[in-house]
Chains A and B, each alone.
Chain A
Amino acid sequence: MRRGNISSWNKISPQAILFAVLILLSLGLSVHSPFFFKWDNLRNVLDQSTLNIIFGTGMTLVIVSGGIDLSVGAEAALAGIIMAIALHAGMGVTPAIVAGLATGLLFGLLNGSCIALLRLNPFIVTLASMSIIRGLTLILTGSIPISGFSEDFLWFGSGNAGPLPTTAVIAAVIALLGAVVLNWTKLGYYSTALGGNEEALRRSGVSTATYKIALYILCGFTAAVAGLVMTARLNSADPTAGYMMEMDAIATAVLGGTSMRGGAGSIGGMVIAGLLLAVLRNGLVMHGIASYYQQLLTGLIILIAIFASEMRSRSRDGLSI
């Protein structure tokens, strides 16, 4: 990386900018609506950011390595359905959850194997597995949601862990694990290197396939955890659950500063981005703004974020814009 052309703009980390936007937006909403800055509502915002953060953790790891996983929404739905079927078959809460999480690991393994061993394009592989898994959810349920679970299970979606929603604690744990993996493990180091220059890594004798597969397994795992949260929150495993969630996950990761070209990413930034999107949606609903504008605004914000991060990296690399 050439460091000839550093302006003061480049010294501020993008995460700090994102955080400032989050604080400003929250302050603005607090001033503008008396209902925003109430504990009940803040709890809500936390709860609502959890899915994006859980999905976003796995997605960040995969995108950092130069890959993508479009199947996460479908994986979450399937994991929830497996849990629901196991619970209705009389299995205990723990084994049922383990079965669901194992589903996520399994499809992560399949995605990773196709991408790393067969050397197929991750976009196409996960697009195909998204369709396959969505098909499985419909076959398993006959398109009828499975519902009615014990309080023990529902705790994972709508319960409290101390003053916080359980879901927020789950999301915090997942994000923390993701940060540890990305920043302090060999897997994290190699995944960043994979996204930077895969060929160089391979030539230096690193078994890139193993690390790639591990990343997709982790991504499948986070999707299954999201499936647990969704199913327990709604008290219902719905074959259409998590529909288009992969897009939200990608948006959260990218908004948080992960480069779509791979090689750079931040779990901390992703968490701030998840919170920012939740605050934004909450604020729009608080002001009674129609859902049309929510989609429009989310898209615009992501576009601006990508533009800003591209400008920075180009000027840092000494390229003209």
Chain B
Amino acid sequence: MFKKLALAGAIMVLLIGIAGCAGNKGAGNAPSPAAPAANAANAAFNDAQTKLLDSLQPLPKATKQYKIAALEITLANPFWVTVKQGYEDAAKEYGVTVDVLAAPKENDVDSQLETLKTIVNKDYDAIAVSPITPLNLVPGVADATRKSIPVVAVGNNIDTEAAAKANATIKAFITSNFEDQGKLGAGFIANKIGSGKVAIIEGLAGAAQGEARKKGAQETFEANPNIKIVSIQAGDWDRQKAYNIAASLIQANPDLKGIYCANDVMAMGVVEALKAAGKKGQVVVTGNDFIDEAKTSIENGELDASVAMSPYLFGKGGIILALKVLEGQSVKQDIYWSPVALIDKDNVKTFDGWK
């Protein structure tokens, strides 16, 4: 009994230690001012922005000061805070106003719908929505359609079948290709190692973007006859779970050469596990989302690569699409793609100021 307690205690101390290290690292580096390379600052972001704007041609001109509402999934997540910044900057640029709102609690499907219904009863000219699930906003979008308020979707769309049944219309949709993100990350590993054993750590089972990334990564690995996937595990977006998975993977497969992670938080856990096992030099790790911590880790030569999408351009694209619809321009693409990019040690300097 005492031994078990002691063991449990030791594990607790270890976990707290790990969490502490991880936390300190994030905190220590977060405020460090961007020290851009002489001429490369914002280069990658400007590139991506140009690409997106090209696909949105001809750009609309607001003929009056439209009032637009944007309903996000949450404002308690840095990703969506950056989307908000994109909305607000674009609104200023185009001479319209935008109110950015969100469900008060993350994952609160019902209150997000309530918020949308309230928005519909106000005098907004257009609404941009990012539904938490494909279904939860359908009744609210139907209300807006009935009132002839155009709705565009940003990031996530509503379920087309349910929308058709409820007479809910989404006029335009901008998102990022999650499957391509998986392909980019896995492709980087495949190129780097040439041949050998790899593993995939996916997100929470059932989450759409995670499933798509896994699919992209799996297909890329399977298309290469020299590469063998030894394991696909669910890390539930969790750093600690990913740490444990990586620790076991490297025990079971001492010759493992690559681990693809469906987000950066898990990748950071994997990096720590590999460092602890003394195998970081041997295993190529990629993540997704390009969070600040991942950027620092890449600069320090620990994380090998991350795949970035631009939340800022989600918001900006959303405003532009709403304006296109309001100005009666045709929406040519079913889906507008916000660009994705792969960042590794070689190009990380050009990603200063990426948002």
Contacts and interface: CB of A to CB of B under 8 A. Distances in A.
A104 to B, nearest CB: 17
B101 A238 contact: no
B125 to A, nearest CB: 14
Nearest to B236: A143
Interface in B73-127: 74-75, 99-105, 107-111, 113-115, 117-119, 121-123
A234 to B, nearest CB: 5
Contacts of A282: 118
B151 interface: no
Contacts of A312: none
Nearest to B101: A285
A236 B204 CA distance: 19
B310 to A, nearest CB: 22
Interface stretch (A13-21, A34-42, A58-66, A90-98): A34-42
A281 interface: yes
Contacts of A48: 114, 117-118
Interface stretch (B57-65, B131-139, B313-321): B131-139
Contacts of A38: 121
A309 interface: no
B103 A291 contact: yes
B337 to A, nearest CB: 25
Contacts of B278: none
Interface residues of B, number: 36
Interface of A: 33, 35, 38, 40-41, 44, 47-48, 51, 142-145, 147-148, 158, 230, 233-236, 238, 240-244, 281-282, 285-286, 288, 290-292, 294-295
Nearest to A247: B105
A240 B139 CA distance: 19
A51 B110 contact: yes
A144 to B, nearest CB: 5
Interface in B130-164: 133, 135-136, 138-139, 159, 162
B118 A285 contact: yes
Given A233-B110, A290-B100, A143 B139 contact: no
A145 B101 contact: no
A143 B113 CA distance: 20
Given A158-B139, A291-B101, 11 more contacts: A35-B121, A142-B205, A143-B204, A234-B113, A234-B135, A235-B139, A238-B109, A281-B111, A286-B122, A288-B101, A295-B104
B210 to A, nearest CB: 11
B328 interface: no
B119 A285 contact: yes
Contact of B110 (A148, A158, A230): A230
Interface string B145-189: 000000000000001001000100000000000000000000000
